């Protein structure tokens, strides 16, 4: 179960009421910062932008690829450890707006995590250290540290133990 | 089976002949309108744009999130009911251009439907009222009213009956 | 197994070192060319752009749909045959940057291949002639000529033999 706080709405769907749930100027500011970040060629500059203007937690040497899309409404709910890679055009959502309620949840990504291109990360998930997420994955549940996951819906392809064994076999071949 | 009309082509693939199948100025006009809509912060303005310039049917209070991509060639084949949400960067296709033919089909989305972010909807599908479509879903077949679907390929995760049961259990817990 | 060359890195992750692995001005030039190509309404112009400035191999009459995204770092590793269609917003990757190494691999796409919208093609795969790739597919392995594939992870939906049989049945119905 993903960790989200739920807020029921009355009348029209929750997105129709968007600026009652999040200030218009916050969304505009976030949008401009995110667009700058999506196309910036400097990785350290992106991290500075995201930390300073989006209040995202971004660890040292974490690398955002081209066109990554952090949540435009609640980016301050996103936390990423150090030395991780967020792949091309990955969407990190901290909100979901349903017909009769909206939900907000923290996304917590660990250290040395690799997220493949075009992935979608849903609100309220935790991704453990050293996890590897294949391209185009829908991350709808937590990912254990060190595991290799992928698919839509996401499945564990190799557990941390299996990954260790595979890496050791590869290392032996190299030596 | 999706509902599409098929038009065979001779010689090169159908997309190579694009402006013989749809007028150049129509595509240009649609493209400009869609780009405006993709980035517009006002939801009522988007609906007006899409109804007026794309001839899409869009019901009252239906909410298009950021960067939704309606079909750039045949958006008039898209119909969405009222009080629905189309999630971030969802692609709604009313055409498919194959090597030796092209196909056009209506996309019909009901009332109070939720489409999750980054989904792809193929031409010729019907999505019933109150359906919930998970993020990143490939909608390649019809979706029964009230059901919860997701995945690539799309599968029914909960039928309408199961959704009702789940909602009742949740309601009882709240009371 | 995809065909990639592997380059280990020391210290921070490989993407953090991006401009030590590929010249800054090459990435900038590629980015500008790709953005022009993504939004150009003329298909022959796109092919000229990609051949001339990205050193991609693109066969006659091959059609790139709107917003296709060739690899921004190593597009010269992409080769596409003649009379193929690359669908809307498809991502063709020739690189993958992991935490402790980066990998580069050729993407080879045959003649009369159809790639559906929103697909992601990973480095080092070969796609055989006349293959059909469904929308939103993650192409993480080779695709045999003439087959119909889709899903995430990708699966063969119909083999070349099954496709032939299906086409013959359809032809008989038409006659």
Q: Is C53 on the interface with B (CB under 8 A)?
A: no
Residue of A138, A141, A150, A155 to mutate, interface with B, max B Cβ within 10 Å:
A138
Name the residue facing C99 among A41, A43, A83 (closest C-beta). Answer: A83
Q: Is the pLDDT of residue C27 over 80?
A: yes
Chain C residues in contact with B71 by the CB 8 A cut-off are none
Nearest chain C Cα to B119, which residue? C136
Give A21-60 pLDDT, tens digit per residue.
999 999 999 999 999 999 999 999 999 999 999 999 999 9
Whose CA is closest to A133, among A111, A157, A114?
A114
Nearest CA-CA distance, residue A96 and chain C, Å: 22
CA distances from B80 to A27, A97, A115, B77, B108 (A): 26, 18, 34, 10, 6
- The verdict on ipTM greater than 0.90 is yes
Chain C residues in contact with A85 by the CB 8 A cut-off are 13-15, 97-99
Could you tell me which residues come within 8 angstroms of residue B110 by beta carbon, excluding any fewer than 6 positions away?
B81, B84, B126, B127, B128, B129, B130, B131, B145
Phi and psi for A114 in degrees, rounded to 5?
-115, 120
Q: Is C163 on the interface with B (CB under 8 A)?
A: no
Give B67-89 pLDDT, tens digit per residue.
999 999 999 999 999 999 999 99
Say yes or no for a CB contact (<8 Å) between B97 and C152.
no
Distance CA C174, CA C156 (A): 27
Give B126-147 pLDDT, tens digit per residue.
999 999 999 999 999 999 999 9
Distance CA A93, CA C48 (A): 38
Evaluated on CA atoms B58, B60, B62, B67, the torsion sign reads positive
Q: Is the pLDDT of residue C168 over 90?
A: no
pLDDT class of A169 with cuts at 50, 70, 90: confident
The answer to whether the beta carbons of residues B97 and B113 sit under 8 Å apart is no
Residue of A44, A60, A83, A118 to mutate, interface with C, max C Cβ within 10 Å:
A118
Q: What is the pTM of this model?
A: 0.96
Q: Is A116 on the interface with C (CB under 8 A)?
A: yes
Burial of B53 from C-beta contacts in 10 A (0-12 / 13-18 / 19+): middle
Name the residue facing A152 among B84, B132, B151 (closest C-beta). Answer: B151
Q: Is the pLDDT of residue C144 over 90?
A: yes
pLDDT class of B63 with cuts at 50, 70, 90: very high
Average pLDDT in the C134-140 region? 98
Q: Which pLDDT score is estimated for A16?
A: 97
Say yes or no for a CB contact (<8 Å) between A12 and B136.
no
Nearest chain B Cα to A100, which residue? B112
Name the residue facing C120 among A61, A84, A135 (closest C-beta). Answer: A135
Give A121-165 pLDDT, tens digit per residue.
999 999 999 999 999 999 999 999 999 999 999 999 999 999 999
Provide the CA C2 distance to its chain's centre, in angstroms: 13
Distance CA C164, CA C147 (A): 9
Could you tell me which residues come within 8 angstroms of residue A169 by beta carbon, excluding any fewer than 6 positions away?
none
Say yes or no for a CB contact (<8 Å) between A13 and B84.
yes
Q: Is B39 on the interface with C (CB under 8 A)?
A: no
Those chains having 3 or more beta-carbon pairs within 8 angstroms of chain A are B, C
Say yes or no for a CB contact (<8 Å) between C135 and B120.
yes
Say yes or no for a CB contact (<8 Å) between A31 and B41.
yes
Nearest CA-CA distance, residue B107 and chain C, Å: 16
Give C79-91 pLDDT, tens digit per residue.
999 999 999 999 9
Those chains having 3 or more beta-carbon pairs within 8 angstroms of chain C are A, B
The answer to whether the beta carbons of residues B79 and B71 sit under 8 Å apart is no
Rg (CA), chain C: 17
- The per-residue DSSP string of chain B comes to ----EEEE--SS-GGGGHHHHS-HHHHHHHHHHHHHHHH-S-HHHHHHHHHHHH--EE-TT-EE-TT-EE-SS-GGGEEE-SS-EE-TT-EE-SEEE-SSEEEE--EEE-TT-EE-TT-EE-TT-EE-TT-EE-TT-EE-S-B-TT-EEETTTTEEEE-HHHHHHHHHHHHHHH-
Report cis status (omega within 30 of 0) of the bond before B20: no
Say yes or no for a CB contact (<8 Å) between A28 and B43.
no
Q: Is B134 on the interface with A (CB under 8 A)?
A: yes
Q: Is the pLDDT of residue C107 over 90?
A: yes
Q: Which pLDDT score is estimated for B87?
A: 98
Q: Greatest CA separation found in chain A?
A: 66
Say yes or no for a CB contact (<8 Å) between B98 and C114.
yes
| Angle of the C24-39 helix axis to the C43-53 helix axis, nearest 10 | 170
Chain C residues in contact with B122 by the CB 8 A cut-off are 135
Q: Is B114 on the interface with C (CB under 8 A)?
A: no
Chain B residues in contact with A72 by the CB 8 A cut-off are 66
% of chain B exceeding 70 in pLDDT: 99
pLDDT class of C52 with cuts at 50, 70, 90: very high
Distance CA A164, CA A170 (A): 10
CA distances from A65 to A42, A70, A85 (A): 10, 12, 7
Give B23-60 pLDDT, tens digit per residue.
999 999 999 999 999 999 999 999 999 999 999 999 99
CA distances from A164 to A131, A171, B24, C20, C143 (A): 12, 10, 55, 29, 29
Chain C residues in contact with B133 by the CB 8 A cut-off are none
């Amino acid at each position: 179960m993903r960790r989200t706080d739920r807020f029921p709405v009355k009348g029209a769907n929750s997105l129709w009421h968007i600026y009652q749930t999040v200030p218009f100027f916050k969304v505009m500011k976030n949008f401009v910062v995110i667009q700058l970040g999506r196309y910036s060629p400097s990785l350290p500059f992106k991290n500075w932008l995201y930390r300073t203007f989006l209040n995202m937690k971004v660890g040292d040497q974490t690398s955002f690829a081209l066109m990554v899309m952090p949540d435009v409404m609640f980016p301050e709910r996103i936390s990423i450890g150090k030395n991780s890679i967020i792949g091309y055009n990955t969407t990190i959502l901290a909100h979901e707006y349903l017909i009769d309620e909206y939900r907000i949840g923290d996304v917590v990504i660990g250290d040395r995590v690799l997220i493949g291109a075009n992935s979608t990360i849903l609100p309220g998930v935790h991704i453990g250290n050293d996890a590897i997420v294949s391209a185009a994955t829908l991350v709808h549940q937590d990912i254990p540290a060190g595991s290799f996951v992928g698919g839509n819906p996401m499945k564990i392809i190799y557990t941390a133990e299996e990954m260790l064994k595979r890496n050791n076999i590869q290392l032996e071949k190299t030596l």
